Amino acid sequence: MIKVNDIKKDFPIFKRKINGNKLTYLDSGATSQKPNQVIDVMSDVYKNNNANVHRGTYVLSSETTSKYEEVRVKFQKFINAYNSDEIIFTKGCTEGFNLLANSLCKNLNKGDEIILSEIEHHANIIPWQMAAKKYGLNIKYIKIDDSYNLDLDHLNSLLTSKTKIVSIVGESNMSGMLPNIKEIVSNVKSKSDAIFILDGAQLVPHRFVDVKDLGIDFLCVSGHKMLGPTGIGVVWGRKELWDSMDPVYGGGDMIEEVYYDKATWAPVPHKFEAGTPPFVEAIGLGVAAEYLMNISMSEVQQHSDILREYAKNKLENIDGLNVIHSVSKNAGCTFAMSVEGAHAADMSLMLDTYGVAVRAGHHCVQPFHRKLNLDATFRATGYIYNNEEDFDTLADAIENSIKMLK
């Protein structure tokens, strides 16, 4: 069982007061807070080891290179990858999806199909739209049913011999939906030769993701949502797929030989990491992964499930509050909400007066908001440093705000 009060001591931001109240931070779906362990290791690198990685033969560069490359091994363990060379560092999920869309789609044929879902983040829509337009591909969308879950019968109807890529969210940043990825992958693979990509931005911080067990081909991760710094992420992929793909970015570090008329590429993973990498951020991400593994991801998941049930019961009993959340028992601790007659931004501002931090807007899920006839919602997401008291504070603040609006 996670001891939230002990964990909070590792996060210096919780010493802050907001509008005279203790900080109730429920915006981890946008970005997580950072523990001292992550902050300190990054500061230490800048103070004591700062030097560009790779090729430097002097002590500082050798030290930093070792720390940087060790993160691949840590992340291999974190997601149970086959080997550390399958770990590609990116700036985050958005860059990861752009990398995959640009590299994979150039090898497809005109008329080939990509399947996404109706509740995808824009990062898992826009890159595919751009690639589809460039290469003459078609995009299909899996419907979301009335319980805010994937319509698997509809997915089955979409699968054809032309299906080449299926890319879906592992945990919705709007409804908390947690599709049964292993079952879906098995179904997709039995009916097509499609590459399966999993958006792990919300999933990986809260649940153990075993890429071997799931049978997926690629996984995109954002470091800043799992206690790590901004500007760093991971794309894991099967080695044989990486080896068959062309790099998207060109420059230093990703080459083997360069001539005036041609170049050859470095082996994976460096083939996909052009230029000076965000090595300090990567080292911070490694410590963040260790922090979560030290708690144990099974404990993190159990905490999310317990908190989700408590929050769900609390929020769904508030008069005048519309809660958008997966009906399934297996869901994440994320709740999008709306109040008739009140804009989401206004609700967020009112909650802030109580020290409650939530996100307002369409959460980069604008098409699905449009489907629900909503311009925007405000959203709360629980994490390891949240407890029942935080959702009590949220519920009280919402109720008081609704009363003020009447």
Q: Report, as residue numbers or ranges, the catalytic residues.
A: 364
For 267, which DSSP code?
A: P
Tell me, what DSSP letter sits at residue 273? Answer: -
- Taking CA atoms, 362 is separated from 129, 199, 344, 371, 405, in Å, by 19, 18, 9, 12, 22
**Nearest residue to 160 (alpha-carbon basis) of 198, 102, 124, 111:** 111
Q: Reduced to 3 states, what is the DSSP secondary structure of residue 240?
A: helix
- DSSP element (H, E) containing 5: helix 4-8
Question: How far apart, in whole angstroms, are the C-alpha atoms of residue 167 and residue 158?
Answer: 13
d(CA 48, CA 204): 31
CA dist 105 and 85 (Å) reads 23
Torsion sign over Cα 78, 213, 121, 392: negative
Cα separation, 320 vs 173, in Å, equals 22
* Amino acid, res. 353: T
- The per-residue DSSP string of 39-108 comes to HHHHHHIIIII----SS--SHHHHHHHHHHHHHHHHHHHHHT-S-GGGEEEESSHHHHHHHHHHHHHTTS
> Among candidates 336, 304, 328, 33, which has minimal Cα distance to 173?
336
Strand partners, 361: 377
